[in-house]
A and B are shown apart, each in its own frame.
Chain A
């Protein structure tokens, strides 16, 4: 309990996780909404040794297409190769890397915390600090929903570690280019 860092939602967060050696990239891939497309994309990543860290797939506003937002780690040169290989797939309409683009980026997490009556108020207070919604409450647990950018979620989760995490589900990041430009 000593040396605790005070964390707020608008200050950068010291992450519990070790700093990654390779930068995290976010790829946005617009694809034909057809069976097998995800397998083709996944194969490109696997073959080039890129580990997919997060993946969100949903229909685009034109239902013929799906939008994939893929978070992956790897060196920039290799990433260029993956982008080019993905772009070659017939089912890929376009593929762009948003690591440095001007995008808004959001993620959602459900966090199940082991917390009884004695520390419940404390946990809920921290949750409130992060703008969490309480989705489930039992005598020995609660489920909090948090949304925001990856750093905020990491911070919230690291705070909850202290109570004991039972389970954690994160959606993975979705991104959208700011302004009128297309993602």
Chain B
């Protein structure tokens, strides 16, 4: 029965591979040496990608998961290597992204003695993981690897960390590769068991409503509930708005789509929320950037909350009706009890809003981010995988790059992590080779992780990096203009490098867009360039503002469509 001798590290890789892990992004180091050696000796099919910074590695694994729905692993060393993963783990945790993070660690007998590159990463990461392990016995590895993948990918997904002391990874493992899990407190399978009465009550409320609205969130995507959602919307004739992370779960070109709602959502989506008599959230957590002032959100509406995570029910908004479970399963049942609703006049009202308050921009007066993104959307026919960083470009990309299919929109929502977009695009491109992947980034965020150009160039990834360069931290500058008497503080990115030369220095292709007239021509050339990564630097207007906008903490009805003439109060909400 005993197979050939193997150590803990080899066992770990074999178990991760058996669990479906195909890619591992990481950065080597002393305490992880046995695991890196096992990549050479274990005969694993797992493909390792060397990043240039551990944060980049985590965002790559994140982008891979968001583009494919499958988890990837991260492998780093102890101490600073592990510490550098925190932002990436937090980003994944906030957005419910499955990820397995393996950290090297000091030998067990040195733990707690402040040994070289020892960090209590198990303790440090506790608030930002779904679960974590510090392995103390080599024979536990098969069970832990299996549990980690199960936990990361089931129920509400999330990152799981496995801290591997060096003596554990290089010690002999005698346990079989397939061991049973031991998780008495974890029962994600109950997500498929829902309360029938809850669903009937929701169907009744829906069938009585005259102005219903579906709010589709990331949970609907994670549950692969797109077909059920489309059936529900079309059968009942209900308009659909989505959260930032829900983009793509319902095609945005669909006549029932209202696009994204919230702080920088479309005016018609936010007006729909204000006027609806029933708001049905499917897998959204009523994030503060969606609801604004909580006690005014949907005051006149029946609020329905469908979520897999019971702790989301009533966390922000206390719903009138609820159903806890997997969105796909619940919608499939709900669809049996609904009928076509008389929503013609409601849809006509919303279509009126679409005509009155369209997303727009002026093509004159300099190069605008909106214009670049609008043309990009046209040229890609809304069929590219778009990743973004965080800031003005992200909101404009959300507005102007229509997302037609699930898993095509990749953006750091909850955490709002700058530096995410480019490495996430690398992960996405690994996951979906042959498909167009475009990283839409600002000049600020891009500089936080641009060193991953090496990674992209080495692997000849044909991704496009669209740098919307306004030489400012634009969103913060916008807030300073609107709420702080235009006092610019800490937002001027003077000293930006020549991004085209940076790209070329790394061996990537560089393009430049300086005038509106260049947009289509240059973007077409960039999209056709597939020999490796290319960067398109767009010298856009320095000072421009994203509208519509709901000041943080304000009610949705207080949305502003353009810059007001009067001086605005500082917002109550944080960001």
Contact = CB atoms under 8 A, between A and B. Distances in A.
B311 A81 contact: yes
A43 B130 contact: no
Nearest to A94: B185
Interface in B136-166: 151
A2 interface: no
A81 B312 CA distance: 8
B120 to A, nearest CB: 10
A36 B130 contact: no
A40 B126 contact: yes
B126 A87 contact: no
A77 interface: yes
B122 A90 contact: no
Interface in A44-88: 47, 64-65, 77, 80-81, 84-85, 87-88
A43 B125 CA distance: 12
A90 B126 contact: no
B53 interface: no
B134 A92 contact: no
Contacts of A84: 310-311, 313
A89 B130 CA distance: 8
Nearest to B183: A90
A90 B309 contact: no
A90 B123 contact: no
B109 interface: no
B314 A92 contact: no
Contacts of A40: 126
B365 interface: no
Contacts of B315: 81
Given A31-B185, A89-B185, A92-B185, A80 B130 contact: no
Contact of A36 (B127, B134, B311): B134
B314 A80 contact: yes
Given A87-B311, A90-B131, A36 B126 contact: yes
Contacts of A31: 185
Given A87-B310, A88-B311, A90-B151, A36 B122 contact: yes
Contacts of A80: 314
B186 interface: yes
Interface in B310-329: 310-311, 313-315
A93 B134 contact: no
A92 B131 CA distance: 11
Given A90-B151, A90-B186, A91-B185, A43 B126 contact: yes
Contact of A93 (B130, B132, B185, B309): B185
Contacts of B313: 84
How many residues of B sit at the interface, in one of the four size bands? 10 to 19
Contacts of A35: 134
B184 interface: yes
Interface in B185-242: 185-186
A32 interface: yes
Contacts of A94: 185
Given A36-B122, A36-B134, A90-B130, A81 B185 contact: no
A1 interface: no
Interface string B93-136: 00000000000000000000000000000110011001110100
A39 interface: yes
A56 to B, nearest CB: 20
A31 B309 CA distance: 20
B492 to A, nearest CB: 36
A84 to B, nearest CB: 3
A155 B488 CA distance: 61
A160 B186 CA distance: 47
B180 to A, nearest CB: 14
Interface in B279-313: 309-311, 313
Nearest to B311: A84
A93 B184 contact: yes
A84 B285 CA distance: 14
Nearest to A77: B314
B311 A85 contact: yes
A90 B185 contact: yes
Contacts of B309: 88
A28 to B, nearest CB: 14
Among A32, A84, A88, A91, the most chain B Cβ lie within 10 Å of the Cβ of A88
Interface in A118-155: none
Given A31-B185, A32-B184, A91-B185, A39 B314 contact: no
Interface in B335-374: none
A36 B184 CA distance: 17
A94 B132 CA distance: 19
Interface in A13-48: 31-32, 35-36, 39-40, 43, 47
B197 to A, nearest CB: 20
B292 to A, nearest CB: 20
Contacts of B134: 35-36
Nearest to B313: A84
Contacts of A88: 309-311
A49 to B, nearest CB: 14
Contact of A32 (B132, B151, B185): B185
Nearest to A83: B311
Given A31-B185, A32-B185, A92-B185, A81 B122 contact: no
A55 B127 CA distance: 21
Nearest to A82: B311
A77 B184 CA distance: 27
Contacts of B186: 90
B412 to A, nearest CB: 21
Interface string B384-396: 0000000000000
Among B130, B186, B311, the most chain A Cβ lie within 10 Å of the Cβ of B311
25 contacts: A31-B185, A32-B184, A36-B122, A36-B123, A36-B126, A36-B132, A36-B134, A39-B123, A43-B127, A65-B184, A77-B314, A81-B311, A81-B314, A84-B310, A85-B311, A87-B310, A88-B310, A89-B185, A90-B130, A90-B151, A90-B183, A91-B185, A93-B184, A93-B185, A94-B185
Given A35-B134, A36-B134, A43-B127, 11 more contacts: A32-B185, A39-B126, A40-B126, A64-B184, A77-B314, A84-B313, A89-B185, A90-B130, A90-B131, A90-B185, A93-B185
Interface of B: 122-123, 126-127, 130-132, 134, 151, 183-186, 309-311, 313-315
List of 5 A-B pairs having minimum Cβ-Cβ separation, nearest first? A84-B311, A90-B131, A93-B185, A90-B186, A92-B185
